[in-house]
Amino acid sequence: MFHPRRTLRALLLPLAAGLALTTLPAQTASAAGTLTNGGFESDGAGVATPAGWSEYGSTAASFTESGGHGGSHRLSHYASSAYKVETYQYLSGLTNGNYKLTAWVRSGGGQNSAYIALKNCGGAEQRTDLPVSASGWIRIVVPVNVTNNQCTISINSDANAGNWINVDDLTFASGTSGTSIHGADISSLAKSEAKGGVYRTSSGTTGDAVTILKNAGMNYARLKVWVNPADGYNNKTRVLAMAKRIKAAGMKLLVDFHYSDTWADPGAQSKPAAWAGHSYSQLRTDVYNHTYDVLNALKAQGTTPDMVQVGNEINGGMLWNEGSTNNWSQLAGLLNSGYDAVKAVNSSTTVALHLAKGGDLSGTRWWFDSAVANGVKFDAIGLSYYGYWHGSLYDFQTTLDDAASRYGKPVFVAETAYPFRLDSEDSHEEIINTTGELVSGYPANTAGQRRWMNDVTSIVEAVPGGRGLGVFYWEATWTAVTGNGWDPTDASSGNGWENQALFGYDDTALSSMAWFRHR
């Protein structure tokens, strides 16, 4: 937590600034080809202008102080009144090529903007916003292609009174970063359209939701499959039809097998009615045949999925009780049946396992350690991460990084979302509908929704080793349409999610769709 010590800092400024100028003249006076004083350790606390760095704007709001990420000190931006300040360092004599800046950051939030940028490097400025994290340090990255042998590292705050950031342990080295998945689950779309749902561009023109999302930058769609749902939606036939639209739009496809007739999640993993009473051995065959059947039909129509989830949010296993985590050897057999079926249809399709444990380090470790010990086969790890349920952004980064390194697999966010308002459009209460349920620093408006998505994606981008694949937004198209409620057995059931769609209550595309353009 940041605790400004204004009085002490004022006393230390003249002495510390004098020491910096007498002991390190070369670093403050000329540019260098390598980053100087990236850990802000050269001067100690209370220094107005850290060695190697320059400042512009409200310079009194930029200073070093005790409490670093790695070492003893950090850079902070803070003032008791509104301020705009930039702390920057100019690098010259660089060999042209790809570089990546890595930084550890904290922020109390509330700024108009707070970001780290690489600019004047020969091409477009690259920037990464600081996620709001008041206690835990978060790693962010900024990649750039240097084409003019120089680059400026810029730490920026456009802040209101009392806002603060901490920045530390910056490194600038060869490398690159980015995310390949900027996706959304649109499983609700077919039924919405059938029940009269309308989707409009940001200018109000009625259009096809898939096209609108594609034009916003979406490149990957996720569709759930139920075995024999009561309303007929999200079954094999409907998935085949939607897959054609997704592939025609040039998007990739993730098929999410629930192995149920209705919602499968951490609290419910009910067997499909057709498989009720089957032995464990038969259930293994059921999983294989169902998986193979759906995927083979998709392949036959030219829409082979790029990724498949064997199970949905299977914290406690699937196909209860036979496939519960209380019986890992049986769960492993069911998961491997799904894996084998996917590979039998197309060996290059990525098979992911999906937990709703985005901020649960110990729980994620326990689950995947058990899976590995029981010989479960998988290619990627998907985690649901909803900030109002699954822990802080710091917890999320810690869990994601650990999963990637511990199991040597790429990781992605299979589900996340955020509200753009708190009231409901239909008569059904929203799942998230009070300010107390929100994540601190992320208001329930389109700006907050967009900020949440960009910051979650930035954390995925920063996973070491390039193992962060990207993010799927959950149910971007689930607007309030009569008949398209949550319960497939009840046409009058409402929707508790329309305030977390990416289309507004006037059915127009929200500006928060801009997150699809994240690196």
Residues known to be catalytic: 313, 415
Q: Check: CB of residue 301 under 8 Å from CB of residue 241.
A: no
Give the separation between CA 232 and CA 228, rounded to whole angstroms. 7
- Check whether the bond before 321 is cis (ω within 30° of 0): yes
Query: Cα–Cα–Cα angle for 53, 59, 64, nearest 5°?
Result: 55
CA 124 to mean position of chain CA atoms: 24
3-state secondary structure of 216: helix
Give the separation between CA 393 and CA 385, rounded to whole angstroms. 9
Q: SS3 for 426-445, per residue?
A: CCCCCCCCCHHHCCCCCCCC
Question: Which CA distances in Å does 131 have to 308, 331, 394?
Answer: 30, 37, 10
H or E element in which residue 66 lies: strand 62-66
Work out the number of other CB atoms within 10 angstroms of the CB of residue 62: 29
> What is the CB-side half-sphere exposure of residue 508 using CA atoms within 13 A?
9
Q: Which residues contact 137 (CB under 8 A, 6 or more apart)?
A: 69, 104, 105, 106, 166, 168, 394
